[in-house]
Chains A and B, each alone.
Chain A
Amino acid sequence: MSKVEAFRQHHFDGVEQQHEASWLGMWVFLATEVMFFGGMFAAYFVYRHWYLLAFGSASNRLDIWLGAINTAVLICSSFTMALAVHSAETSRRKPLIRFLMLTIILGLVFLGIKFYEYHTKFEEYLVPGSSFRFEAALAAPAEIFFSFYFAMTGMHAVHMIIGIGLLTALIVRARRGHFSALYHTPVELTGLYWHFVDIVWIFLFPLLYLLGRHL
Chain B
Amino acid sequence: MKAEPVVPVRVYLLVFLSLLVLTAITTAVAFFDLGGGVNNGIALTIAVCKGLLVILFFMHVRYSDKLTWVFAAAGFFWLLILIGGTMDDVVTRPVLSRETASTSTEFNPR
Q: Which residues of A contact B (CB under 8 A)?
A: 16, 19-20, 23-24, 27-28, 30-35, 38-39, 41-42, 45-46, 49-54, 64, 68, 71-72, 75-76, 78-79, 81-83, 86, 89-90, 137-141, 191-192, 195-196, 198-199, 202-203, 205-206, 209-211, 213-215
Contact A206 to B43, CB < 8 A, known contacts A72-B20, A198-B54: yes
Smallest CB-CB separation from A87: which chain B residue? B9
Q: Tell which of A30, A41, A79, A139 touches B83, judged by Cβ atoms closer than 8 Å.
A: A41
Contact A20 to B19, CB < 8 A, known contacts A41-B79, A205-B47, A214-B35: no
Q: Is the CB of B43 within 8 A of A35?
A: no
Would you give the shortest CB distance from B85 to chain A, in whole angstroms?
Answer: 9
22 contacts between A and B (CB under 8 A): A19-B2, A20-B1, A30-B75, A31-B75, A32-B75, A34-B76, A42-B86, A46-B86, A50-B104, A50-B110, A75-B20, A79-B12, A82-B7, A90-B6, A195-B59, A198-B58, A202-B50, A206-B43, A206-B47, A210-B27, A213-B30, A214-B30
By a CB distance below 8 angstroms, the chain A residues around B101 are 49-50
By a CB distance below 8 angstroms, the chain A residues around B86 are 42, 45-46
Q: Is the CB of A49 within 8 A of B2?
A: no
Q: Is the CB of B110 within 8 A of A23?
A: no
Q: Is the CB of A64 within 8 A of B74?
A: no
Q: Tell which of B72, B90, B105 touches A54, judged by Cβ atoms closer than 8 Å.
A: B105
Contact A31 to B71, CB < 8 A, known contacts A41-B83, A45-B83, A90-B6: yes
Q: Is the CB of A50 within 8 A of B54?
A: no
Smallest CB-CB separation from A138: which chain B residue? B105
Contact with A along B38-71 (1 / 0, CB 8 A): 0110011011001100110111000010011001
By a CB distance below 8 angstroms, the chain B residues around A49 are 87, 90-91, 101-102
Cα(A79)–Cα(B12), bound, Å: 7
